Amino acid sequence: MALLQISEPGMTSAPHQHRLAAGIDLGTTHSLVATVRSGSADTLADSQQQHLLPSVVHYSKDRPPLVGLEALAKANKDPLNTLASVKRLMGRGQNDLATIDGHLPYQFAETDSSVPRIQTVAGAVSAIEVSAEILKALRQRAEDSLGDILSGVVITVPAYFDDAQREATRDAAKLANLTVYRLINEPTAAAIAYGLDQQTSGTIAVYDLGGGTFDISILRLSKGVFEVLSTGGNSALGGDDFDYAIAEWILQQLPNAVADDQALLRQCLTLARQAKETLSHHETTEITLDHWQGTLSRTNFEALIAPLVKKTLSSCRRALRDAKLNKDEIDDVILVGGSTRVPSVREAVNAFFERTAHSKLDPDKVVAIGAARQADILAGNKPDQEMLLLDVIPLSLGIEMMGGLVDKVIHRNTAIPITRAQEFTTFKDGQTALSIHILQGERETVETNRSLGKFVLHGIPPMVAGAARIKVTFQVDADGLLNVDAQELTTGTRSNIEIKPSYGLTDNEIETMLRSSIDNAQDDVELRSLREQQIEARRTLEALNAAMESDDETLLSEEERQQLYAGHSELAATCKTSEDSEVIKAAIKKLEKSAEFYVERRMNSSVKKAMAGQQINDI
């Protein structure tokens, strides 16, 4: 006999309802789904009791795509139709393919779209579509395990994912028919999994080395609030690269090996992965391939991956510098990601931070578990536990000014979500429209930063230059997506743009932009000063022109007029020929000095006109 739920008079069963929510770690190599049951968060297994789902999809002509272990089994025999590590392509454009540091042994279809598509026997597919297949499999696993439809999910992304990469992740979730409560950074989710919200304060470094991405985040915890002080990393560096280092070593041992033999490369990668896992627990491992057999020692393996590990430590050093912290100010270090199982990685991290890193939780599962706990809160299952997560934006956001300068509205490493507004004005008399150009980067000029988008605000009432008030508002939401709104305050006319670029920046490009801003800091200061003086000179010249054209001839004698024209020409010539801001500044002051008599006469003339016909008692 089935049980029937009853409730007290005047009460409903609604308070007892538990909304099913899940956390998803959409990884480069493996993906997981986790949920909170009976107050405990854990990952969900498939029918074979496997928790890790290989992030691999196999396409064929006559049946739906295979996902996970079934797809991975096809990798050696059908490598071009078995797609792995597509996370490295999320939010990337056609022009990025040549600069991606990852190994992508696929055939790309020729297309007019800015989004790269991989050619398979089932047709061309994008990274978004491949990721959607992985998310569908995880959604099905969760619903089979929980016995009901998911109300929503929290999906994790690398801390360095930009707007386009985050938007691509959301698009993949939509294709998988998932409601996304929120995207959160993987290191932040890991901190939640370790229960750091239960502490009162602390500064934590989260070292996350997964299969295909590396992230380092410096978090500050204060009264249950996480603030990301800085982030760094590389979205094209991870355990996959360890595998390739071993695979390349194997290929060097093989006589007559063909470098572009994709089937052979896949075989070597499979053996490399097995060797890597064995060497985490043993000093040597035997590798057998066709008619060749060799031995790889842990010492040799550590030498092969040493340059890669060194790269991660360089990112850690930069993250500390960005956070304005020293190593001794870090209270705890957390290891995340399956690649942190490699003994030499743990030793290197411990040595760098001069302390033993926490690794008690399964490094493959911690991100999904943290996401599940956050999803449970966002689903409303724990209304008394509101956890506030403050992530940061990786690069400054600003707007183009006259002279090709960039005015930063939101600076890099600002905690999000954030809304900031600044007021701007018109440059010319009678200006009725304003072009708004949104830029990303740390340099001072438009050409040295990245363009995110443009839009035009129309309907500005014609006024003298500088009289209009245009409020431009930058809003970055919790997922790191940007919306820019412009409003003319007199009329209320407004226009806006949601920044959804077709592709994103690589981490190398972000690093290059940051290094460039540091290396060129002094030059940028000087260039900005020069541009500002050039703009001021233009204002002075245009104001003098407008005044002389509008005034009658009685204010100036011909000799005086020629004197002002000469000063005008001298300043204009100085602006064209001089690259020294101080020289231009001096030329502006010289013209203003020579025009003082004219300014005084115009002012007196304006006062006389205003007073004409007025009595003392009327004033």
Helix and strand numbers, DSSP H then E, in the chain: 14, 27
One-letter identity of residue 368: A
Buried b / exposed e along 128-161 (16+ C-beta atoms within 10 A): bbbbbbbbbbbbebbbebbeeebbbbbbbbbbbb
Residues 6 or more apart in contact with residue 436 via CB below 8 angstroms? 399, 400, 454, 455, 456, 457, 472, 484, 486, 495, 497
> Is 443 in contact with 524 (CB distance < 8 Å)?
yes
Distance between CA 161 and CA 504 in Å, rounded?
A: 8
Helix (H, G, I), strand (E, B) or coil at 206: strand
Pairing of strands 30-37, 388-392: unpaired
Residues 6 or more apart in contact with residue 193 via CB below 8 angstroms? 41, 361, 365, 366, 367, 369, 370, 373
Helix (H, G, I), strand (E, B) or coil at 97: coil
One-letter identity of residue 354: E
Point out which residues pair with 598 in neighbouring strands. none
Q: Is the dihedral of CA 187, 190, 196, 197 positive or negative?
A: positive
Residues 6 or more apart in contact with residue 564 via CB below 8 angstroms? 544, 548, 556, 594, 595, 598
Helix (H, G, I), strand (E, B) or coil at 422: strand
Task: Give long-range contacts, CB 8 A cutoff, 24+ apart: 492-497.
Answer: 493/457, 493/458, 493/459, 493/460, 494/457, 495/436, 495/455, 495/456, 495/457, 495/458, 496/455, 497/436, 497/438, 497/453, 497/454, 497/455
Catalytic residue among 208, 215, 444, 511: 208
The region that residue 498 occupies, defined by phi over 0 for left and psi between -120 and 50 for alpha, beta otherwise, is: beta
For the question of residue 87 being annotated catalytic, the response is yes
Q: Is 49 exposed, middle or buried (0-12, 13-18, 19+ CB in 10 A)?
A: exposed
Distance between CA 549 and CA 570 in Å, rounded?
A: 19
Q: In what order do the strands lie in the sheet with 82-84?
A: 66-67, 56-58, 82-84
For the question of residue 243 being annotated catalytic, the response is no
Catalytic residue among 46, 74, 87, 485: 87
Distance between CA 51 and CA 364 in Å, rounded?
A: 10
Distance between CA 505 and CA 511 in Å, rounded?
A: 10
For the question of residue 208 being annotated catalytic, the response is yes
**Cα pseudo-dihedral 263, 266, 268, 274, rounded to 10:** -150
> Is 403 in contact with 479 (CB distance < 8 Å)?
no
Catalytic residue among 96, 129, 167, 186: 186
Distance between CA 514 and CA 397 in Å, rounded?
A: 13
Distance between CA 62 and CA 466 in Å, rounded?
A: 66
For the question of residue 261 being annotated catalytic, the response is no
Q: Could you list the active site residues?
A: 25, 87, 186, 208
